Amino acid sequence: MSFKDLKLNKPILRAIAEAGYAEPTLVQEKTIPFVLAKKDLITSAQTGTGKTAAFALPILQLLFDRQDAPKKGKKIKAMVVSPTRELAVQIGENFKTYGKYSNIRSAVIYGGIPMEPQIEILKKGVDILVVTPGRLLDLHKQELVDLKSIEILVLDEADLMLDLGFIDDVKKIERLCPVDKQVLLFSATIPFKVEELAKTILKSPERINISPDLPTASNVSQMLYYVPKKNKMELCLHLLRNTIKGSILIFRRTKHGVDKLEQTLAKNGYKVESLHGDKSQNDRKTALGKFKNNYVNILIATDLAARGIDVKDLDAVINFDLPNLPDTYVHRIGRTGRAGEIGTAYSFCAADEREYIKTIQQSINVQIPVVEDHPYPLDPKAKPEIHKKKRGSKYKKGRKGEGSKKKKKRWY
């Protein structure tokens, strides 16, 4: 099948041809006809399958033939709600790429930066708005954004949206839009909470589930290293010096871990940047820009900060800390080996992560090859390391008022 067979018009076909799209992916092939038919839709597909184009292309097609003239003032007809700033920016870039030969105007609005420039963009009028939940509700509260003309509402990465605690915001946003709108829900997985949300906001939706039994890409070579936790840093340096080359994305579980690894790699002469939730929006944008443009070849990130990253020609992923959920593992390694390219995923497993890797292998139905020939092997009989709290720690359990109060931390 070709994109022409999906009844996309010539300006859109021209734009996607220039972007290097030869033929639609499976999720695009199955999704686009339903969107063009104005059906509500639930689509589940893993990272790297082309989900953004699956809703962006038909939305542009639906709006193309009845564009408002800029002089008359454009009204928001389609809105994409995204859980993270990085993902919102990526979606916005895709809309501009696919709609370059139309007069359709799109804009990206997110928090963490001054509101005034975004207000000016909205005043000029946009057809398609890509937005994060918090900033949208802030703008609506101040009566600075009009949602009365929305015809298509897209909830992207719905599972992450709920994981981040946006379920009430999403429900409120849906109620602020017209009742007769088309709702498109996209998610890597469909857990119970997403299913319950879908029941409340979608009307007789079509369902598309892409390759649920084959979650990992066949062109990603997976390798597993058993290593003591205290030696993970040395193993990482050893592999970077001797084995892993090119563009590399490294995952750590916490922001503290991200910072520590970045400092160590920088001291050892590596060009490295990082992403986590405590970084400002400008710092995150700069870091991602440097990585995408090859000014640095190593990017370290937490899972939440990396969710919106779409980097071409990524050579390798390193799971410095193993995730406790198989779906997260699949998302991580799916960053490499895209578009027919070959990629490699390296996973470090300490004694206390053995259960994680066992669950992951059972879920993906793959026995990940173990690399035993490395300088820091883990004793098969090694027990999980226990880190004792220091005496006098202000986080030590005790009587009320004596260090029992814990500081709430954001670990992304």
Q: Is the pLDDT of residue 129 over 80?
A: yes
Lowest mean pLDDT among 4-18, 59-73, 135-149, 152-166: 59-73
Residue 256 neighbours by CB distance under 10 Å: 13
Mean pLDDT of the chain: 85
Task: Let me know if the fold of 4-209 is the same as that of 220-364.
Answer: yes
User: Among residues 171, 147, 148, which one has the least CA distance to residue 158?
Assistant: 171
379 versus 184: which is more confidently predicted?
Answer: 184
The segment with the largest mean pLDDT, out of 53-62, 69-78, 375-384, is 53-62
Q: What is the pLDDT of residue 412?
A: 37
- Strand ranges for 295-336 from DSSP E: 298-301, 316-319
362 falls in which pLDDT band (50, 70, 90)? confident
Q: What is the pLDDT of residue 48?
A: 67
389 falls in which pLDDT band (50, 70, 90)? very low
Q: What is the pLDDT of residue 409?
A: 41
- Strand ranges for 157-245 from DSSP E: 182-187, 206-209, 220-226
Lowest mean pLDDT among 90-94, 148-152, 226-230, 360-364: 360-364
- Quote helix, strand, coil % in the chain, to nearest 5: 40, 15, 45
Q: What is the pLDDT of residue 76?
A: 94
Q: Is the pLDDT of residue 258 over 70?
A: yes
Calpha distance 266→101 (Å, rounded): 43
Give kind and range of the element (H or E) at residue 273.
strand 272-275
- Mean pLDDT in residue range 45-53: 79
47 falls in which pLDDT band (50, 70, 90)? low
CATH class of 220-364: alpha beta
Residue that the structure tokens 């501009």 belong to: 96
Q: Is the pLDDT of residue 112 over 90?
A: no
- Mean pLDDT in residue range 378-386: 77
Calpha distance 51→157 (Å, rounded): 10
Residue 315 neighbours by CB distance under 10 Å: 17
CB contact at 8 A, 275 and 262? no
Calpha distance 232→138 (Å, rounded): 43
Percent of all residues in the chain with a pLDDT value above 70, rounded to a whole number? 86
**Which residues does 404 contact at the CB level (< 8 Å), separation at least 6?**
397, 398
Structure tokens at 91: 């979606």
CB neighbour class for 377 (10 Å; exposed up to 12, middle 13-18, buried from 19) = middle
User: Among residues 296, 315, 303, which one has the least CA distance to residue 277?
Assistant: 303
CB contact at 8 A, 303 and 333? no
- CA distances to 9, 67, 383 from 379, in Å: 61, 66, 9
What residue spans define the domains of the chain?
Answer: 4-209, 220-364
CB contact at 8 A, 235 and 376? yes
Give kind and range of the element (H or E) at residue 239.
helix 232-242
Span 171-197, pLDDT tens digits: 999 999 999 999 999 988 788 888 999
Q: Is the pLDDT of residue 400 over 80?
A: no
Q: What is the pLDDT of residue 97?
A: 95
The correct answer on CATH 3.30.300.30 for the domain covering 4-209 is: no
